[in-house]
């Protein structure tokens, strides 16, 4: 048994009694003012000065290099086409591709085609989001669910969603349902897995802090767990969009039917049937441009905002 001992040390100017020393607050106003000034000085010294990168430098270091790279590739392509390395029906130049797209534009169908695909992609993505988020949360937080379907869910990510197309056609025929089924099967696992990863990487300290603040149960999920997992969730969403778009193109490419509105995949397939290589390449570049464009316009700013708000991203 440990011995316990209580002794009292009394300072030189201690009052005679054994009561607690609690001077009346405000008694030492000058001392308090000194402390406030000291603290303000420390705060000022230790707060990092905010700095902005000038626009010129952003242009030079962030915008110029990729633009130059694209121009270089286009120039090499044009040179190769002009040198007639392959016959024109196999290797048209970038200008031929541009003209083929322009022709589609003048026929007035191209915007409708892009819109068909984008709206399908967006709708499919939204549905994947609505299914993948609760699913991911269940897998992340319920041990039994995780043990049961966690491995299947991450395994599904490595299954190319184009493999689902034949099955979907047999189930749903050549309808929109086929397309959406393939998109969902492609995107839901990556959204759910992103959330699982995000939840797993939440620092335990946040959860402990949340519990001491009284954020338990659903309130803990809402106020601590989900916001803390947001960066991982967002990268899951980004990947989920890429999978949606890929699956959509696979589905549109195979499920061609007059009943289905023309999307970019169908445009590509039609061009192949017509042996129109310029339009094939044009459709491929449109698919690429739309996919990259949505990532750059929607996901990249969202992710940057979240990371920057948390100080996880250096400015500039």
Residues that bind other proteins (CB under 8 A): 1-15, 18-23, 25, 28, 31-32, 35-36, 38-40, 42-43, 46-48, 50, 205-206, 208-209, 211-215, 219, 223-224, 227-228, 230, 306, 309-312
Q: Degrees (nearest 5) of the Cα angle 108, 116, 167?
A: 135
- Nearest-approach distance from CB 194 to other proteins, in angstroms: 17
- Nearest-approach distance from CB 310 to other proteins, in angstroms: 4
**Rg value, the chain, Cα:** 30
Which residue is associated with the tokens 């009346």?
A: 24
Which residue is associated with the tokens 């990268």?
A: 235
- Nearest-approach distance from CB 219 to other proteins, in angstroms: 7
Q: Distance (Å, rounded) from C-alpha 265 to C-alpha 99? A: 19
- Nearest-approach distance from CB 131 to other proteins, in angstroms: 25
- Nearest-approach distance from CB 11 to other proteins, in angstroms: 3
CB 73 within 8 A of CB 93: no
First to last CA, the chain: 62
Q: Which two tokens stand for residue 205?
A: 């300290």
Q: Which lies closer to other proteins via its Cβ, residue 124 or residue 194?
A: 194
Q: Which lies closer to other proteins via its Cβ, residue 46 or residue 259?
A: 46
Q: Which lies closer to other proteins via its Cβ, residue 42 or residue 130?
A: 42
Helix axis angle, 94-106 to 110-141, nearest 10°: 100
Cα 61 to the center of its chain, rounded Å: 23
Q: Which lies closer to other proteins via its Cβ, residue 42 or residue 69?
A: 42
Q: Which lies closer to other proteins via its Cβ, residue 36 or residue 152?
A: 36
Q: Distance (Å, rounded) from C-alpha 56 to C-alpha 34? A: 45
């Amino acid at each position: 048994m440990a011995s316990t001992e209580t002794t009292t040390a009394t300072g030189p100017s201690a009052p005679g009694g054994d009561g607690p020393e609690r001077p009346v607050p405000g008694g030492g106003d000058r001392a308090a003012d000194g402390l406030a000034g000291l603290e303000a000085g420390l705060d000022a010294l230790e707060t990092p000065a905010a700095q902005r990168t000038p626009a010129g430098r952003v242009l030079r270091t962030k915008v110029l290099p990729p633009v130059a790279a694209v121009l270089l590739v286009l120039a090499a392509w044009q040179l190769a086409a002009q040198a007639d390395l392959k016959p024109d029906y196999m290797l048209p130049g970038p200008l031929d591709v541009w003209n083929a797209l322009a022709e589609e534009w003048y026929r007035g169908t191209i915007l409708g085609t892009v819109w068909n695909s984008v709206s399908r992609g967006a709708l499919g993505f939204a549905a994947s989001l609505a299914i993948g988020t609760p699913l991911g949360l269940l897998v992340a937080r319920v041990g039994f669910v995780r043990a049961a379907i966690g491995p299947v869910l991450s395994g599904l990510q490595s299954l190319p969603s184009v493999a689902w197309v034949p099955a979907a056609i047999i189930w749903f025929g050549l309808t929109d349902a086929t397309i959406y089924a393939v998109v969902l099967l492609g995107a839901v696992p990556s959204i759910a897995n992103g959330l699982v990863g995000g939840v797993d990487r939440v620092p335990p300290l946040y959860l402990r802090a949340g519990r001491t603040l009284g954020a338990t149960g659903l309130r803990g999920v809402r106020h601590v767990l989900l916001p803390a997992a947001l960066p991982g969730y967002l990268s899951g969403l980004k990947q989920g969009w890429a999978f949606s778009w890929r699956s959509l193109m696979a589905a549109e490419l195979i499920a061609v039917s007059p009943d289905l509105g023309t999307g970019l995949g169908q445009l590509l397939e039609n061009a192949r049937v017509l042996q129109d290589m310029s339009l094939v390449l044009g459709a491929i570049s449109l698919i690429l441009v739309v996919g990259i464009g949505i990532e750059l316009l929607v996901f990249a700013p969202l992710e940057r905002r979240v990371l920057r708000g948390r100080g996880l991203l250096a400015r500039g």
